[in-house]
Amino acid sequence: MAEFRLLNVREVNARVNQVFKTPKWTGVSILLYKDARVDMALLDEVYGANNWQVCYCTIGTSLFCQIQVWDAEKQQWISKMSNGTESNMEAEKGQASDAFKRAGFMWGLGRELYTAPDIMVTLSDDEVYTDEKTKKWKTNVKFTVDEISYNQYREISHLVISKQYKGKSEVCFTWNEKGTKPKPVAKTEATEKPQGNPKPQTTTDTTNNENIVIGSPDASDDKWKVYWAELKKICPDEQKLKEVCMSNGVDTVKKLNAFYFNAIKNILVA
């Protein structure tokens, strides 16, 4: 089967994952994503508009999407499928779109996005606010991907992101394979933050009662333990977490590597 090309900068979007505000730091974490139209265009580009199709089915309470591609050599349809989750706005439409994109991931569409680094951007106090209904911190700052490059392993090797607020645009995050280099911002008493990303926290992996430093994958030879511990911070329900892993090709936690960790983390926080 044909291999999909890597996404270009116009096909990659950036959105706020979480807003943070502490006495010492105000900022956001950012996720990279693509929309379903990009997947459709790539399927057309590689296989032809008449050589792929989509069907949906419900298994239990989950909606699954199956992307089928015609294999001329085998003279048969080849299928790959995955389930979706509801969106905050339109539950059914969001679930169908999410299932489609996850099925596309099974085919290799946009897998390179899951090799992105942790993207943390410092904001000023006036760029965040408290939502009246949820009482959670939010921001009206928008983010765009200006540059993206890949290495020979189809992993992101260079990334530049800009922020837009009140009609102004400026580069706020630059990264290459050597590490992150956030653009410095004016420091105030409220926004002053030590250089580098927030310090990793220590948590306990209940599967083996070992202390693992989250955010430092090299802390242990068994890196899967680090990834599993961090995923459990996002999804404390271990049974649900195992089901998500299973549905995305990880039938045992020992298979967790950087690629699968980033993929499943983005699925859990989507």
Q: Which residue has the higher pLDDT, 119 or 262?
A: 119
Q: What is the pLDDT of residue 234?
A: 85
Q: What is the pLDDT of residue 222?
A: 67
**Closest-CA residue to 144 (of 9, 269, 7, 27):** 9
DSSP β-bridge partners for residue 120: 29
pLDDT-derived band at 110, boundaries 50, 70, 90: very high
Q: What is d(CA 129, CA 138) in angstroms, rounded to the nearest whole number?
A: 5
HEC profile of the chain: CCCCCCCCHHHCEEEEEEEEECCCCEEEEEEEECCHHHHHHHHHHHHCCCCEEEEEEEECCEEEEEEEEEECCCCEEEEEEEECCCCCCCHHHHHHHHHHHHHHHHHCCCHHHHHCCCEEEECCHHHEEECCCCCCEEECCEEEEEEEEECCCCCEEEEEEEEEECCEEEEEEEEECCEECCCCCCCCCCCCCCCCCCCCCEEEECCCCEEEECCCHHHCCCHHHHHHHHHHHHCCCHHHHHHHHHHCCCCCHHHCCHHHHHHHHHHHHC
* Segment 130-152 mean pLDDT: 94
Q: What is the pLDDT of residue 91?
A: 54
* Structure confidence by residue, pLDDT tens digits, 19-47: 999 888 999 999 999 999 999 999 999 99
**Closest-CA residue to 169 (of 186, 140, 144):** 144
Q: Which residue has the higher pLDDT, 49 or 87?
A: 49
The CA-CA-CA angle for residues 143, 175, 130, to 5°, reads 35
Q: Which domains does the chain have, with CATH numbers?
A: 9-31+116-193 (no CATH), 37-107 (3.30.390.80), 200-270 (no CATH)
* Segment 70-95 mean pLDDT: 78
Q: Which residue has the higher pLDDT, 90 or 198?
A: 90
The CA-CA-CA angle for residues 22, 27, 30, to 5°, reads 135
Phi, psi of 163 (to 5 degrees): -115, 150
Going by their DSSP bridges, the two strands 76-83 and 62-71 should be labelled as antiparallel
